[in-house]
Amino acid sequence: MPIVPPPTPAPSPPPGQPSFHSFDPTVVAHSSAFATLSPAARRQHLHALIQVCTPSELLFLSTTIAPLLKRDFLRALPPEVSLHILSFIDDPRTLARAARVSRYWNELIQDDCLWKAMCVRHGFSRDADAVESYRREQGLDGRRRSSLAWSGTPQPDADRDQPARAEIDGFPYRKFFIHEHLRTSNWLQRGRLLRIHRAPLHPPVTQDPNAPNGAQGPVANPAIPTSIAIDSSWVVVGLANSRIHIFSAKTGVLSRTLVGHESGVWAVSLVTEGGRPGPPGVPLSDNTGDPLVATAPQDAMLPPILRYALGLEPPARMNDLAPDPFADGKAAEPPPFGKPSYPGGASDGWGQPNALIVSGGCDKELRVWDVRSGYCIYVLRGHTSTIRCLKVLHGRPVAISGSRDRSLRVWDIQRGRLLRVLEGHTQSVRCLDACGNRVVSGSYDCTCRVWDVDTGACLHVLRGHFHQIYTVAFDGVRIASGGLDTTVRVWDASTGACLALLQGHTALVCQLQLTPTMLATGGSDGRVITFSLKDSTFSVVQRLAAHDSSVSGLQLDDRFLVTSGNDGRVRLYEFELAMAPSAFEPQCRYVRDMCEPSESVWKVAYTRETCAILSKKAGKMVVEILSFKPDWE
């Protein structure tokens, strides 16, 4: 016999809330009569009824009526209209609070179109390298996905309760905005100190047992930092005691020390692993060079592990370069000669699997090192005096070194050979900068020269300074030079004509950096001056009394300016964020000192998420590595 389950009882009313399923006949008649009244009479009736209600009855009316009056206007509107309304919100904290109203609002505010506009509004879309770095770190492939919210495609009525999610270009704009917002906040606050490394500045004096009367042995050079290079993975420091320290930019740990130079290291360059080869048609490593001076390649005798590090076995791989998600289909105009060099001393690789270091110094040798193993791959000889400066081209295994022997030399660092010698200066080559296949060198002979790396031709000789040149900057369009005559000159890279003579410093101009719209200069007088490049007048944007002594380091991007000085301070400035295009460059405001005061600061360099400060404290060389990476990752 089948078992029939008992009937399920009706649910009980919540505590404190009476049930009104059975009405009194008087109430039913009253409701029917109320429904027949005119609107004016209904209001009068309600007003009279409220007047005779007790406080508890009024409270009952309030709690009953309030939910009936609430209306989710975003749910009632089409998703496209709701997203358009939300796009007028400027403050990300307002969007975050709105996402907590309901699940529907939360899903609606997850839409990437809102956060893409927020990225543009807060200036997080202007640095294409930052976007590409984030894409690479997150392993994004850049595949395009459809967007219903903004495509105009009609949605079925059955899906009206589900907000349209727009995942455009496969790029997570919301996560990117959160990452950049937290990173910027870390810069403005304190960041996180990864490590502090201290080393004796002067090594202990030893006794030479073979010397008569116990005379002292040879005195080693002090461990003074002379050069620095930094990227997202490594911090490389060259020292006057012939050593090279490699620190991890992610943990701050001293990974290894490179030993091989016989004298002080005066120049280092870091080649980032991976990357993409240079433009099509530009020789990568098969350039024969100048037949009169080119040397034979040395790569045939290398062990497989070092050939692999250089990208020779197997051939160098190419990283797919996804389009800029903020470009909106508009391709940015590339510089006329290629990509300018990075201010941090690093360069993009040509697809090789390992990071490389190129170094030069007082022993006249150029050395190529594998960062992962610490091996010295090549020792390249040819200079007859100290190597004072060097650069590695983006996407090509080509290094250019400048020396006190008055020449520049072009090297193939993948196959270990000299390609050509650039001669023309009559005194020591003090500085150089590169952009694409063009190199600008500054010399103590008071001139700058523009060279074509692939042909070795001297394209222009820039004359105008009447004292030694100490620093140059080159962005592919303009050249800036500064030196001991306290002036800065701006030159046209295509014609070699002098565009401007900029004054304002009262001592040696030792620091320069060019951006697309601004020129920043630092001098031994402690001043930092910014000039606008938006017009032909090169007007002064701001004069900063940044330090009480010489400016030893200067680096800027579109948001921050970092300076260091021999007064022992490192200072952070923030540029005002312009919400709309302006004919004037934004000024910067002082934010904070980035470290405790020291006796002197030798070098400072930073990337988006890491800053390295080299200073002297209590007679020791101190390396401080700061991280601004968001902790939520």
Evaluate whether residue 365 is within a structural domain.
no
Q: How many folded domains does the chain comprise?
A: 1
Contact 119, 175 (CB under 8 A): no
For the record, the structure tokens of 54 come out as 């007790």
- Residue 57 belongs to what domain range? 42-71
Of 329, 316, 234, give the one whose Cα is nearest residue 275.
316
Residue 248 CA to residue 251 CA, distance in Å, equals: 6
Evaluate whether residue 52 is within a structural domain.
yes
DSSP character at residue 301: G
Geometric angle at alpha carbon 98, from 96 and 99, rounded to 5°: 65
End-to-end CA distance of the chain: 64
Evaluate whether residue 49 is within a structural domain.
yes
Q: CA of 120: how far to CAs of 115, 124, 185, 331, 536, in Å? A: 9, 6, 17, 17, 28
DSSP character at residue 576: P
Phi-psi region for residue 611, left (φ > 0), alpha (ψ -120 to 50) or beta? beta
Q: Which residues contact 244 (CB under 8 A, 6 or more apart)?
A: 236, 237, 238, 257, 258, 261, 265, 268, 357, 359, 369
Evaluate whether residue 274 is within a structural domain.
no
Evaluate whether residue 56 is within a structural domain.
yes
DSSP character at residue 41: H
Q: What is the pLDDT of residue 217?
A: 54
Residue 36 CA to residue 19 CA, distance in Å, equals: 26
246 in helix, strand or coil?
strand
Q: Which residues contact 175 (CB under 8 A, 6 or more apart)?
A: 138
For the record, the structure tokens of 393 come out as 């081209």
Evaluate whether residue 61 is within a structural domain.
yes
Contact 133, 342 (CB under 8 A): no
Residue 365 CA to residue 381 CA, distance in Å, equals: 5
Evaluate whether residue 66 is within a structural domain.
yes
Q: Spell out, as residue ranges, where the chain has pLDDT lower than 50.
A: 142-167, 286, 580
Q: What is the pLDDT of residue 276?
A: 75
* pLDDT cut 90: percent of the chain above it: 59
Q: What is the pLDDT of residue 160?
A: 45
Q: Which amino acid is it at 440?
A: V
314 preceded by a cis bond (ω within 30 of 0):
yes
Q: What is the pLDDT of residue 219?
A: 59
Residue 253 CA to residue 233 CA, distance in Å, equals: 11
Evaluate whether residue 377 is within a structural domain.
no
Please state the separation of Cα 457 from the chain's center in Å: 34
Of 558, 535, 631, 608, give the one whose Cα is nearest residue 120.
558
Of 370, 376, 386, give the one whose Cα is nearest residue 265.
386
Of 605, 613, 563, 555, give the one whose Cα is nearest residue 194.
613
Q: Length of the chain, please?
A: 633
Q: What is the pLDDT of residue 400?
A: 97
